[in-house]
Amino acid sequence: MSHETDFLVIGGGLAGLTFAMHAARHGSVTVLAKGRSTSSASDKAQGGIASVVSEHDSFEDHERDTLRAGAGLCHEDIVRLCIQGGPESIAELESLGVPFSRMQDDQQAYDLGKEGGHSHRRILHAGDFTGHEIMQALHKAVRAQPGIRLLEDRLAVNLIVERADHPVGVCRGAYVLDQNSGQIETHLGSCTVLATGGAGKVYVYTSNPDMASGDGMAMAYRAGAEMCNMEFVQFHPTCLYHPRAKSFLLSEAMRGEGGKLRLADGSEFLEDYDERGSLATRDIVARAIDFELKKRGDDCVLLDMTALEADYLVKRFANIHRRCLEYGLDMTAEPLPVVPAAHYFCGGVRADARGRSSVPGLYAIGELANTGLHGANRLASNSLLEAVVFGRLAAKDAVEWAARAPAPAGEPPSWDPGDATDSDEMVVVSQNWDEIRRFMWSYVGIVRSDKRLERALRRMQILQEEIREYYWNFLLTSDLVELRNIAVVAELVIRSAQHRTESRGLHYTLDHPEADDRLLDTIIQRDGGVRSAPIHPSVHYDWI
């Protein structure tokens, strides 16, 4: 049985719901969420959303900070487009009821935060629950719109691409696993929007929620979409180091308010790496921590907030303070142990300024997309801004595409499980899953080398064969689907990293420590071919 809609959205985070709200004014929308409303990375975002709202700030300064953080690979037109869409995005979120924090002595003024790489205070936040407050407001708005159907516990398996009437193929929808019944559903739409977020679970240590297994990236690649700059994986410098914390993120806003990173002996060290010290960009801070830990044999460094007033800390970082107390740690009285963890994919499905991928009918927005905004390293708190701005832009374009898209050639085939049976060997899935995540951390992490990448690719190719065989022999489970996707994303990261024979931004390799003067994107295609492309002009996909 197939389900039809005008706009099919795969992903229930900020980008997907923003798209849904705007598209629903022009047709029916089905949103497929992998988990519950509080499961997305958007909901977990603590720091806030970057935007120029102060008279002391400017678009030019925000653009300059973004370009500097991106280490030369940001697409300037995309940066300008996104940043200048900031005030409208903030106004839209406030109209939905998002309670951005205000100054205590002036309720008309925002209480703006500052984070690494920013030259001004421009981070709007709602305490340290920003993502949760935004997602609560969006869910309320989405559920109030009759044209939107939100289905939870749906895991997309494969995109449906019809090739008969178009030389490249046209995306018509997706096969989707209902995680409650175990049944495969067919969902069709005039256009399909991927907004599934990142792939932090490719690494054994990550700040991401459990659902971040690169599903949208892997599906898009299998469907023939171009992938871009997959080598640039951002590691957040400050995740709580505690056996029960599961890499709980300590917001960059903590350093923005005066927190200092220190070694185990209490000494500061980041000034030796960058004049901005603890407020340097994430690539620099994470690499510095990694270097110091390996040099000294320590398990962690320390984030020291004790110079700030206790009452202020408890109010400003209420959620973080409460969670740390659960682990027996009091930030008002002692430094907190921290380590880097995989946090954000700056690479992803190559998309243009309208969210179009190289596959007609398929849009990519949010973290899984690579528009050129982040370049080689994302500036803190630009991610929520990107999700709202491109969710809105993609919806506008999708309405136009839906009105003139070529008619389907016929009903797509129903899902065929073939001779697949229930598996009694799920240990194979868990073993392969664990092995991929561990060697990605060891060989394709913060610091890389030619030998490490070669070793990772050899092992990945063996595992891919095992996973393929398992995939076709056994009925699908969410663990098997995620393993298959993690394996695809891992191989894309490895191949892209091998292709970039320089060190830039988040990609640092011991064998090529200097930057290359050429500013090029890494493009990887369905046949496995990897090439370089100039960053200007930005990609523009014309589907008809």
Give the domain CATH number at 27.
3.50.50.60
Instruction: Say yes or no: 357 and 485 in one domain.
Output: no
Give the domain CATH number at 451.
1.20.58.100
Instruction: Say yes or no: 136 and 191 in one domain.
Output: yes
CB-based burial label for 99 (10 Å; 0-12, 13-18, 19+): middle
Residue 540 lies in a domain: no
Give the 3-state secondary structure of 2-54. EEEEEEEEECCCHHHHHHHHHHCCCCCEEEECCCCCCCCHHHHCCCCEECCCC
What does the pLDDT read at residue 261? 96
The pair of structure tokens assigned to 474 is 């056994």
Instruction: Say yes or no: 44 and 165 in one domain.
Output: yes
Residue 287 structural domain: 234-343
Q: For residue 409, what is the enclosing H or E element?
A: none
User: What's the sign of the alpha-carbon dihedral 360, 364, 369, 371?
Assistant: positive
- CA nearest 405: which of 361, 464, 340, 363? 361
Instruction: Say yes or no: 360 and 331 in one domain.
Output: no
Instruction: Say yes or no: 291 and 373 in one domain.
Output: no
Q: What's the mean pLDDT when you consider all of the chain? A: 93
Residue 433 lies in a domain: yes
Tens of pLDDT, residues 42-51: 888 888 999 9
Instruction: Say yes or no: 370 and 489 in one domain.
Output: no
Residue 417 lies in a domain: no
CB-based burial label for 20 (10 Å; 0-12, 13-18, 19+): buried
Counted domains in the chain:
3
What does the pLDDT read at residue 194? 98
AA letter at 252: E
What does the pLDDT read at residue 167? 65
What does the pLDDT read at residue 164? 61
The pair of structure tokens assigned to 445 is 């992490």
Instruction: Say yes or no: 378 and 473 in one domain.
Output: no
The SS3 call for residue 116 is: coil
CA 76, chain centre distance (Å): 20
CB-based burial label for 302 (10 Å; 0-12, 13-18, 19+): buried
Q: CA-to-CA distance for 510 and 304, rounded, in angstroms?
A: 31
> Residue 475: CB partners within 8 Å, gap ≥ 6?
182, 417, 420, 421, 422, 423
Instruction: Say yes or no: 304 and 351 in one domain.
Output: no
What does the pLDDT read at residue 120? 95
Residue 88 lies in a domain: yes
Instruction: Say yes or no: 45 and 127 in one domain.
Output: yes
Residue 181 lies in a domain: yes
User: What's the sign of the alpha-carbon dihedral 185, 191, 194, 195?
Assistant: negative
- Residues identified as active-site: 282
3-state DSSP helix/strand/coil percent for the chain, to nearest 5? 35, 20, 40
What does the pLDDT read at residue 417? 80
Give the domain CATH number at 319.
3.90.700.10
Instruction: Say yes or no: 224 and 371 in one domain.
Output: yes
Residue 539 lies in a domain: no
Count of C-beta atoms within a 10 Å radius of residue 70: 30
CB-based burial label for 178 (10 Å; 0-12, 13-18, 19+): middle
- CA nearest 82: which of 519, 374, 401? 374
Instruction: Say yes or no: 190 and 161 in one domain.
Output: yes
What does the pLDDT read at residue 408? 85
Tens of pLDDT, residues 19-78: 999 999 999 999 999 988 677 888 888 889 999 999 999 999 999 999 999 999 999 999
To 10 degrees, the CA torsion angle through 269, 272, 278, 283?
-110
Residue 119 lies in a domain: yes
Task: Determine if residue 38 is left, alpha or beta; phi over 0 gives left, psi from -120 to 50 gives alpha, anything else beta.
Answer: alpha
What does the pLDDT read at residue 165? 59
Instruction: Say yes or no: 111 and 35 in one domain.
Output: yes
Bridging pattern class, strands 2-10 and 29-32: parallel
Bridging pattern class, strands 2-10 and 184-194: parallel
Output the tens digit of pLDDT for each of the chain's 544 residues.
Answer: 789 999 999 999 999 999 999 999 999 999 999 988 677 888 888 889 999 999 999 999 999 999 999 999 999 999 999 999 999 999 999 999 999 999 987 778 999 999 989 999 999 999 888 999 999 999 999 999 999 999 999 999 999 999 765 666 899 999 999 999 999 999 999 999 999 999 999 999 999 988 999 999 999 999 999 999 999 999 999 999 998 887 788 988 899 899 999 999 999 999 999 999 988 998 999 999 999 998 999 999 999 999 999 999 999 999 999 999 999 999 999 999 999 999 999 999 999 999 999 999 999 999 999 999 999 999 999 999 999 999 999 999 999 999 988 888 788 888 888 767 777 667 888 899 999 999 999 999 999 999 999 999 999 999 999 898 888 888 899 999 999 999 999 999 999 999 999 999 999 999 999 999 999 999 999 888 999 999 999 999 999 7
Claim: this prediction has a pTM higher than 0.75 = yes
Written as one string, the DSSP assignment of 467-489 is: HHHHHHHB---HHHHHHHHHHHH
Q: CA-to-CA distance for 523 and 532, rounded, in angstroms?
A: 6
To 10 degrees, the CA torsion angle through 417, 419, 425, 426?
0
Q: For residue 166, what is the enclosing H or E element?
A: none
Residue 416 lies in a domain: no
What does the pLDDT read at residue 163? 78
